[in-house]
Amino acid sequence: MALKVLHCIYDDPANPWVAGGGAVRVFELYRHLAGEVDATVATGRFPGAKDETIDGVRYVRLGVEKPYPLSRLTYAAAANRLLRTADYDAAVFDFSTYTPLFVPTDRPVGITVHHVTGPTADERWGRALGAGIRRMERAMIGRASRLSATSAATFELLQDLKGPGVEIDMVYAGVPDELFALPHREQDYLLYFGRLDVIQKGLDTLLAAFAIVAAERPGLELRMAGRGKDADRVREMARGLGVEGSVRLLGAVSEDERQALFTGALVQLMPSRFEGFGMVAAEAMAAGVPLVAAAAGSLPEVVGDGGVLVPAGDAPALAAAVSRLIADAAERARLSRAARASAERFRWNAVAADHLGFLSRIAAGARAPRPHASR
In a shared domain, residues 96 and 15: yes
In a shared domain, residues 111 and 224: no
Identify the band that residue 63 occupies on the pLDDT scale cut at 50, 70 and 90: very high
Identify the band that residue 224 occupies on the pLDDT scale cut at 50, 70 and 90: very high
Say which range, 33-42, 268-277, 287-296, 336-345, has the weakest mean pLDDT. 268-277
Cα separation of 31 and 28, whole Å? 5
Asked if 174 and 347 count as a contact pair (C-beta separation under 8 A), the reply is yes
In a shared domain, residues 159 and 203: no
User: For all residues of the chain together, what is the average pLDDT?
Assistant: 90
Other CB atoms within 10 A of residue 221 CB: 17
Provide the pLDDT for residue 345: 85
CATH of the domain at 147: 3.40.50.2000
Integer angstrom CA distances of residue 74 from 97, 118, 129: 15, 24, 22
Measured in whole angstroms, the distance separating CA 366 from the mean position of its chain's CA atoms is 28
In a shared domain, residues 160 and 200: no
Give the amino acid at 217: R
Does any domain span residue 153?
yes
In a shared domain, residues 184 and 143: no
Cα separation of 134 and 112, whole Å? 17
Asked if 266 and 186 count as a contact pair (C-beta separation under 8 A), the reply is yes
Q: With 60 as the cut, is the pLDDT of residue 370 above it?
A: no
- The bridge status of strand 57-62 relative to strand 90-94 is unpaired
Q: What is the mean pLDDT of residues 335-361?
A: 93
Asked if 223 and 191 count as a contact pair (C-beta separation under 8 A), the reply is yes
Q: With 50 as the cut, is the pLDDT of residue 375 above it?
A: no
Asked if 136 and 97 count as a contact pair (C-beta separation under 8 A), the reply is yes
Identify the band that residue 164 occupies on the pLDDT scale cut at 50, 70 and 90: low
Q: Which range has highest mean pLDDT (2-6, 14-18, 99-103)?
A: 2-6
Angle, vertex CA 76, rays to CA 74 and CA 82, nearest 5: 105
CB burial readout 1-26, b (16+ within 10 A) else e: eebbbbbbbbbbbebbbbbbbbbbbb
In a shared domain, residues 136 and 100: yes
Looking at per-residue pLDDT, the higher value among 278 and 342 belongs to 342
Provide the pLDDT for residue 373: 41
The model's pLDDT over 99-156, given as tens digits with 9 standing for 90+, comes to 889 999 999 999 999 888 777 777 777 788 888 888 888 889 888 879 999 888 888 8
Does any domain span residue 16?
yes
Question: Which is it for the CA torsion 83, 88, 90, 94, positive or negative?
Answer: negative
Provide the pLDDT for residue 371: 47
Percentage of the chain surpassing pLDDT 70? 96
Provide the pLDDT for residue 372: 47
- The bridge status of strand 37-44 relative to strand 267-270 is unpaired
Q: What is the mean pLDDT of residues 59-68?
A: 95
Does any domain span residue 375?
no
Does any domain span residue 374?
no
In a shared domain, residues 217 and 69: no
Total number of domains constituting the chain: 2
In a shared domain, residues 72 and 38: yes
In a shared domain, residues 292 and 332: yes
Q: With 60 as the cut, is the pLDDT of residue 374 above it?
A: no
Q: Which of 47, 51, 112, 107 is nearest to 81 (CA)?
A: 107
In a shared domain, residues 285 and 359: no
In a shared domain, residues 99 and 181: no
- Partner residues linked to 294 by β-bridges: 310
Measured N-to-C along each axis, helices 231-241 and 203-216 cross at an angle, to the nearest 10 degrees, of 30
Asked if 291 and 307 count as a contact pair (C-beta separation under 8 A), the reply is yes
Does any domain span residue 330?
yes
Element (H, E) at 90: strand 90-94
Does any domain span residue 18?
yes
Does any domain span residue 370?
no
Residues contacting 228, CB < 8 A, separation 6+? 17, 18, 195, 196, 197
Measured N-to-C along each axis, helices 21-32 and 348-364 cross at an angle, to the nearest 10 degrees, of 80
Measured in whole angstroms, the distance separating CA 316 from the mean position of its chain's CA atoms is 25
Q: Which of 297, 3, 354 is nearest to 151 (CA)?
A: 297
Give the amino acid at 372: H
Cα separation of 3 and 359, whole Å? 8
Provide the pLDDT for residue 4: 96
Q: With 80 as the cut, is the pLDDT of residue 231 above it?
A: yes
Provide the pLDDT for residue 163: 64
Q: Name the burial class of residue 329, with classes exposed (0-12), middle (13-18) and buried (19+) by CB atoms within 10 angstroms of its CB.
A: exposed
In a shared domain, residues 246 and 329: yes
- Partner residues linked to 292 by β-bridges: 269, 308
Percentage of the chain surpassing pLDDT 90? 66
Tell me the H-state helices in 6-54: 21-32
Asked if 290 and 262 count as a contact pair (C-beta separation under 8 A), the reply is no
Provide the pLDDT for residue 71: 94
The model's pLDDT over 292-347, given as tens digits with 9 standing for 90+, comes to 999 987 888 888 888 999 999 999 999 999 999 999 999 999 999 999 999 988 89
Which residue range forms the structural domain that includes residue 245?
177-345
Does any domain span residue 372?
no
Identify the band that residue 165 occupies on the pLDDT scale cut at 50, 70 and 90: low
